[in-house]
A = this chain, B = another copy of it.
């Protein structure tokens, strides 16, 4: 039977050209590698080397053996990595969500219900979430109702309504409600990456600019100190403080009201059951 350690020495010899350099590389003695090459010839049952008194080189068959050796070594490495990755996946719940808000409710819940599992989550746009779902990269996906693929299980999860938030003296402050059409052209502060909402806003308000703030504190300061409108939803959990005296005005468009669904494969039902 082949021995991967021996094949590694063979590959090293192919790389180095001489047994001595290969031995040095692998931190073993020359005699050891000499013996290994002899043993490899025994195992393969055919000559692999051209020998002269103080020189050894691979013959044509030897090079072919090296090809196979490298392939096997790569496969063996991938096997170990594959098994480890599989084991990790058994202890990880991976959530891909199209928006941040659902995660605020989902993640604490999962953490509590499956305390010995690692919870890994990411926010991306609808298409990417779908990919993760189809490819099995994610265990649970959060998608708008309309995006739920037919061949997957799903449960309704949360409803989110988008509103904007302006200072009382803002020119929009008088409206009881607003449409994307009316908002188009205004520039907005955008708190964190919004996933789903991000795409939606850019699409519905193509003339608007979105001033993205990654820092939480900066964002709060700008909300307080500027008159730029920003977004809130019914799920936004910020303090009253954060928005100071700002006024919240609902957006009337159908698209501003979203029903998020939890989507998953049959085999991952157990992780979604408690949300049914």
A residues whose Cβ falls under 8 Å from a Cβ of B: 1-5, 8, 43-48, 60-61, 64-65, 68-69, 71-72, 75-76, 79-80, 82-84, 86-87, 90
Contacts and interface: CB of A to CB of B under 8 A. Distances in A.
Interface of A is mostly: helix
A3 B2 contact: no
A2 B2 contact: no
A2 B76 contact: yes
A90 B60 contact: yes
B82 A64 contact: yes
Given A3-B4, A65-B79, 7 more contacts: A43-B80, A45-B80, A60-B90, A61-B87, A61-B90, A69-B79, A71-B79
B69 A86 contact: no
A82 B71 CA distance: 13
Contacts of A87: 46-47, 61
A48 B79 CA distance: 13
Given A1-B8, A4-B1, A44 B84 contact: yes
